[in-house]
């Protein structure tokens, strides 16, 4: 579990995601793996070369260029890449599992390769299927890769607290501040008391981990929109959420809060679901 996986389609969006991943890998001295997936029925890659007769060969050459370009930024780490074939979200998730990745980083609006997959609600499938936490970064987002402030919203669900462990790990790498945001979604006193209790538990945990932190509270009528607005207000450069995941054979979806946040946030989003904690923290 000492490596980060990045989904690549060679668009500006995915290269931006790669550079965010490199900043985390450099801090943690993690190895970096990149993956490109060829879906023969939908893939239209955007490459420097006009020669597309041998797509896989061209992709291999582009990966070699990326390794050369970025290796100097990760002198203590390995940089590797894989080429897979099939449905993008399935293959990316399988690669994360096979590589035992601690984190997956992906752009959510690539202009090529992943276009069918990434645009709109389909972007959430990779978060749902991934066996590890996922950072998603929307296309066109230019935000500091040196994490200084992480927003961690807390709502009335018990699972809301569970993202504290992995979030604190990322915060420690960058000596970043974690702003715990208690979201009051109801005027009922008992509900507010629960949220306050959860938020204070998270604050105590972060203080025990020597993580810089503070607690804020807001009334929230749309927790996705309110969270994004607050993140922009405090100039956060990462939002940490729990995915509210539910899985069935014929239906893979995220809760509406997580879904909206991943799709609309102009700030990178770290998505964690309960199974991640068992894998990453070993319990």
CA neighbours within 13 Å on the CB side: how many for 44?
7
Q: How many domains are contained in the chain?
A: 2
Query: Are residues 275 and 155 located together in one domain of the fold?
Result: yes
In a domain, residue 143? The reply is no
Do the Cβ atoms of 47 and 62 come closer than 8 Å? yes
The Cα 109–Cα 218 span in angstroms is 30
CATH of the domain at 126: 3.40.50.620
Structure-token pair, residue 105: 């980083």
Q: Which domain holds residue 208?
A: 149-281
Query: Are residues 160 and 133 located together in one domain of the fold?
Result: no
Query: Are residues 105 and 24 located together in one domain of the fold?
Result: yes
Q: Which of 137, 168, 189 is the last residue of a domain?
A: 137
Query: Are residues 73 and 132 located together in one domain of the fold?
Result: yes
Structure-token pair, residue 85: 């074939």
Sheet holding 103-107, edge to edge: 79-85, 31-38, 3-7, 103-107, 134-137, 269-272, 238-242, 149-154, 177-184, 213-219
Query: Are residues 113 and 175 located together in one domain of the fold?
Result: no
Write down the pTM of the prediction. Answer: 0.88
Print pLDDT tens along the chain (283 aa). Answer: 799 999 998 888 889 999 999 999 999 999 999 999 887 665 554 445 444 457 888 899 999 999 999 999 999 999 999 999 988 889 999 999 999 999 999 988 644 444 444 444 456 788 888 999 999 998 777 777 889 999 999 988 888 888 999 999 999 999 999 999 999 988 888 889 999 999 999 999 999 999 999 999 999 988 899 999 999 999 999 999 988 644 444 445 567 788 888 888 999 999 997 754 444 433 3
Query: Are residues 70 and 174 located together in one domain of the fold?
Result: no
Query: Are residues 154 and 54 located together in one domain of the fold?
Result: no
Query: Are residues 233 and 254 located together in one domain of the fold?
Result: yes
State the DSSP H helix or E strand holding residue 171, giving kind and residue range, or none if neither: helix 164-174
Query: Are residues 78 and 168 located together in one domain of the fold?
Result: no
Q: Where are the beta strands (DSSP E) in 86-237?
A: 103-107, 134-137, 149-154, 177-184, 213-219
């Amino acid at each position: 579990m000492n490596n980060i996986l990045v989904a690549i389609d060679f668009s500006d969006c995915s290269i931006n995601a790669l550079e965010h991943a490199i900043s985390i890998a450099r801090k943690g001295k993690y190895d970096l793996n990149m993956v490109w997936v060829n879906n023969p029925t939908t893939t239209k890659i955007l490459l420097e070369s006009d020669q597309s007769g041998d797509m896989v060969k061209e992709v291999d050459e582009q990966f070699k260029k990326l390794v050369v370009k970025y290796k100097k930024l990760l002198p203590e780490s390995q940089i590797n890449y894989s080429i897979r074939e099939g449905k993008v979200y399935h293959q990316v998730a399988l690669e994360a599992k096979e590589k035992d990745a601690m984190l997956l980083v992906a752009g959510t609006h690539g202009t090529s390769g992943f276009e069918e997959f990434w645009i709109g609600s389909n972007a959430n499938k990779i978060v749902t299927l991934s066996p590890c936490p996922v950072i998603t970064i929307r296309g066109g987002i230019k935000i500091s890769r040196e994490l200084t402030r992480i927003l961690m919203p807390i709502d009335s669900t018990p699972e809301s607290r569970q993202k504290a462990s992995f979030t604190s790990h990322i915060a420690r790498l960058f000596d970043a501040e974690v702003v715990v945001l208690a979201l009051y979604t109801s005027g009922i006193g008992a509900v507010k008391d629960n949220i306050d209790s959860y938020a204070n538990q998270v604050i105590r945990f972060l203080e025990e981990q020597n993580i810089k932190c503070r607690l804020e509270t807001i009334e929230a009528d749309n927790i996705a929109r309110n969270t994004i607005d607050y993140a922009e207000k405090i100039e956060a450069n990462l939002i940490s959420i729990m995915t509210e995941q539910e899985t069935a054979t014929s239906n893979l979806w995220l809760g509406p809060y997580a879904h909206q946040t991943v799709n609309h946030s102009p700030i990178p989003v770290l998505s964690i679901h309960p199974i991640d904690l068992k894998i990453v923290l070993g319990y």
